[in-house]
Amino acid sequence: MEIQCKTSKEISGMGHPMKRKEDARFIQGHGRYIDDIKLPGMLYMDIVRSPYAYAKIKSINAEKALAIPGVLAVITGKDLEKYGLHWMPTIMSDTQMVLPTDTVMYQAQEVAAVIATERYIAADGADAVEVEYEPMKPIVDPHTSLDKDAPLLRPDKPGKTDNHIWHWEVGDREATDELFNKAEVTVKEQIYVPRIHVASIETCGCVADYDKIENKLTMFMTTQAPHAIRTVIALVAGHVGLTEEKIRVISPDIGGGFGGKVPVYPGYVIAIAVSFLVGKPVKWIEDRSENLQADSFARDYHMTCELAADKNGRIQGLRIKTLADHGYTDAAANPSKFPAGMYSIVTGSYDFQTAFTEMDAVYTNKPPGGVAYRCSFRVTEAVHAIERMVDRLALEVKKDPAELRMENFIKKEQFPYKSALGWEYDSGDYHAALKKAMDIIGYDELRKEQAEKRKEGKLMGIGISSFTEIVGAGPSRHFDILGLKMFDSCEIRVHPTGKAIARFGTKSQGQGHETTYAQIIAEELGIPAEHIQVEEGDTDTAPYGLGTYASRSTPVAGAAAAKAARKLRDKARKIAAYLMEVSEEDLEWEPGKFSVKGAPEKSKTIQEIVFAAYTNHPLGMEAGFEAVHYYDPPNLTFPFGSYICVVDIDNKTGEIKIRRFVAVDDCGNIINPMIVEGQIHGGLTQGLAPAMYEEFIYDEDGNLLNGTLMDYLVPTAVESPHWETDRTITPSPHHPIGAKGVGESPTVGAPPAIANAIVDALSHLGVTHLDIPITPFKVWKVLKEKGAAG
């Protein structure tokens, strides 16, 4: 679909495939990531971690470590306890140890920290710390967590008598049960979406720099939400004198986030505590194994899914019961009123009469987490459930899955659409997206080919996923994190010569904000994007915001940019009227200038107007040309798309080859098509990853068996197919520039497309479901079982 640009290429407002402004430094090795920061007198920290999933700490002996020249200190939970810093709150208002005083709760948990003058010496020191443990039998399988004889994992929580964290439910239980009792057709599957890890190529780390003279902490940190972190530090450490005006959080260039850089990890807190005590900068950088083994996981939902329909496949009801494994504490990264995130988008793109979903979260002896992995608050789990179940129904009623979808989609004219679980979808045209994907891939021909192949005993499958996303948290009446409302912000300062700097409360981790935000402002003000410098990530200079995750930057901060720019355009109109001695109503705007209606030769460019704001502004008007806007969205945005995947499977080895993958995405109006396409490519590979490769595997003692990149399989360029992308454009009716988020749509939409294709290839053998990741071995076992292995 062609994009209509309102601005010239020189201005490069919305719709232009402008090359990225940030690239110059990255392609020349001049990015500034956390580990590139080096301060005079800087100390290094390394962490001693538990080899056990559940154990009592009998003793910690630091003697040998302290004997190493250059090792300055070994910090334990008992040391932090003296300052009341051995516990911290999680985002979900649970509590988490910074360092343990007596018990470790998961493998790779932080046990002690070693401070040294050099990186290698700190690592030597960590090796030399002797910890004596008394191992206990851990809870690994969440299904046993609520057993009567299960050990109570959180005796630290007053009144806690079992390992249940919360129960959450939404929808009409009674109506749904009644509907299922009467339904002509029901289908049911157990679907597991496994525990995975974002594994951004840069791990986490920080440099905590406390200046004793100024009583000021500068915290360089890999964080996707610098302002929220500043407030959290002030809340946690205010009692030792670190108040919020004395804390500056700087998030430098970030080497990928994907949600993994939202939480506060113990390492950050220990580094701050040590810097505060010794008055020197302290650097802590995780290695990859620590990052995989201890940092927040994603997913880990065990879902029992049921779908009810009439005999023709008209979808009627949905019922899902989920068990969520949260590990040792509830450290999920969700808005506070949404313990299961946006899981209730689970009715997806379909018009349901009624639905009910409930969930129970439990503690186990695994690392805490529940972050996104490039998914907007548990949407991936929801989309996987509904898209697998729709295929399951198609199989049951013997209908083509594309046809079944077309018959059950919410229709274009039903928007804004109120879903059975309470969301108001802003806009959509699901039929158009699926039709486009089918046309591009040649769906009908592929079905014919599949029928032929089956006759020859060859395995080929076609999988569809028609997902609905929910992004842009969010309206402040519903959405907050630790009480902080989820608005976001933009401040624009235009200099006298017409060039600008704009600052935001968000933080890019590769999304290209330095380019796309500049394009939004260019669209609104007509100042070339090239001349708009975008800055994020420094809490001393940027306006307050909640950060970048859950595809919220464009829906929220992008809207703030447009709104702030429009305030400036209103001021520009006043100045232009004054300069040309006409009334404001007599002026018309085109990108970059105001001209007099009916006398287009009489005009003032935005640059002339801005110059006048500093040199010749009207009497009674404030001088200068600056604006700030804090945007509180009226609703979320609902991007969507249809993906089709074609696989060929080798019946001798189970090897799965993705022959083609077509992704048609709709994220509303597009700011930069090059960047949008890049976001989709990347998200698709991160959707492929859990569909076929990635899963954390624990043994019965709670040992993580694949905690390095050697055996946790992040897809390379060889596994990743050549993605084919296209688009439809259905603007968001409530967003100032009609845009929706996009970064996570493909991660959300791709796994069921791939799983559906593989199950489709095996469906004639009686296969109705396979849990992801679907590996060749898993497929080979099924083929063997069904007597179909070659």
Partner 1 sequence: MSKKSITLKANGAEHNVIVEPRLLLVHLIREVLNLTGTHIGCDTSNCGACTILLNGKSVKSCTLFAVQANGKEITTIEGLAQGGQLHPLQEGFKECHGLQCGFCTPGMIMRSCELLANNPDPTEEEIRWGISGNLCRCTGYNNIVKAVQYAANKMKGEAVTA
> Which position among 79, 110, 253, 429 is part of the footprint of partner 1 (CB under 8 A)?
253
Residue 610 main-chain phi, psi, to 5 deg? -65, -40
Tell me how far apart the alpha carbons of residues 576 and 326 are, in angstroms, rounded to a whole number. Answer: 58
Beta strand segments in 16-138, E: 43-49, 55-61, 71-76, 87-89, 95-97, 103-104, 110-116, 130-135
Indicate the helix (H) or strand (E) that contains 216: strand 216-221
Using alpha carbons, select from 680, 679, 672, 726 the residue that is nearest to residue 434: 726
Here the tokens at position 335 are 């808005």
Tell me how far apart the alpha carbons of residues 530 and 19 are, in angstroms, rounded to a whole number. Answer: 10
CA gyration radius for the chain? Answer: 28
Indicate the helix (H) or strand (E) that contains 567: helix 559-580
88-127 positions binding partner 1, by CB under 8 A: 119-120
Site string for partner 1, 392-431 (x = CB under 8 A): ----------------------------------------
Using alpha carbons, select from 434, 440, 439 the residue that is nearest to residue 407: 434
Q: Look at the chain and count its residues.
A: 790
Tell me how far apart the alpha carbons of residues 647 and 656 are, in angstroms, rounded to a whole number. Answer: 7
Residue 289 within binding range of partner 1, rule CB under 8 A: yes
The residue annotated as part of the active site, out of 230, 374, 660, 727, is: 374
> Which position among 30, 143, 418, 764 is part of the footprint of partner 1 (CB under 8 A)?
30
Shortest reach from residue 324's CB to partner 1, in Å: 25
> Which position among 3, 5, 26, 432 is part of the footprint of partner 1 (CB under 8 A)?
26
Residue 731 near residue 415, CB atoms below 8 Å = no
Here the tokens at position 534 are 């975008």
From 5-13, 201-209, 212-220, 773-781, give the range in contact with partner 1 by CB under 8 A. 201-209
Residue 773 within binding range of partner 1, rule CB under 8 A: no
Shortest reach from residue 744's CB to partner 1, in Å: 13
Our answer to whether residue 224 is catalytic in this structure is yes
> Which position among 7, 50, 686, 732 is part of the footprint of partner 1 (CB under 8 A)?
686
Within 13 Å of residue 351, how many CA atoms lie on the same side as its CB?
Answer: 19
Tell me how far apart the alpha carbons of residues 350 and 314 are, in angstroms, rounded to a whole number. Answer: 10
Q: Which is nearer to partner 1, 29 or 241 (CB)?
A: 29
DSSP 765: G
The residue annotated as part of the active site, out of 96, 224, 509, 519, is: 224
Q: Which is nearer to partner 1, 33 or 544 (CB)?
A: 33
> Which position among 23, 147, 403, 452 is part of the footprint of partner 1 (CB under 8 A)?
23
711-730 positions binding partner 1, by CB under 8 A: 714, 716-718, 720, 722-723
Residue 681 within binding range of partner 1, rule CB under 8 A: yes
> Which position among 224, 347, 468, 685 is part of the footprint of partner 1 (CB under 8 A)?
685
Q: Which is nearer to partner 1, 121 or 393 (CB)?
A: 121
Residue 376 within binding range of partner 1, rule CB under 8 A: no
Residue 40 within binding range of partner 1, rule CB under 8 A: no
The residue annotated as part of the active site, out of 206, 375, 645, 667, is: 375
550: Cβ contacts below 8 Å, ≥ 6 apart? 259, 372, 376, 377, 471, 472, 473, 741, 744
463-522 positions binding partner 1, by CB under 8 A: 509-512
Q: Which is nearer to partner 1, 501 or 709 (CB)?
A: 709
Sign, CA dihedral 197-201-205-206, equals: negative
Shortest reach from residue 715's CB to partner 1, in Å: 8
Q: Which is nearer to partner 1, 373 or 638 (CB)?
A: 373
Shortest reach from residue 593's CB to partner 1, in Å: 31
Tell me how far apart the alpha carbons of residues 708 and 85 are, in angstroms, rounded to a whole number. Answer: 30
Q: Which is nearer to partner 1, 204 or 385 (CB)?
A: 204
Using alpha carbons, select from 468, 480, 473, 556 the residue that is nearest to residue 513: 556
Q: Residue 502 in 3-state DSSP?
A: strand
Q: Which is nearer to partner 1, 286 or 491 (CB)?
A: 286
Our answer to whether residue 374 is catalytic in this structure is yes
Q: Which is nearer to partner 1, 501 or 674 (CB)?
A: 674
> Which position among 5, 674, 788, 789 is part of the footprint of partner 1 (CB under 8 A)?
674
Tell me how far apart the alpha carbons of residues 663 and 348 are, in angstroms, rounded to a whole number. Answer: 17
Shortest reach from residue 696's CB to partner 1, in Å: 16
Query: Which residues form the interface with partner 1 (CB under 8 A)?
Result: 19-20, 22-33, 35-36, 38, 119-120, 198-203, 253-258, 287-289, 509-512, 674-675, 677-686, 708-710, 714, 716-718, 720, 722-723
Annotated catalytic sites, by residue? 224, 374-375, 744
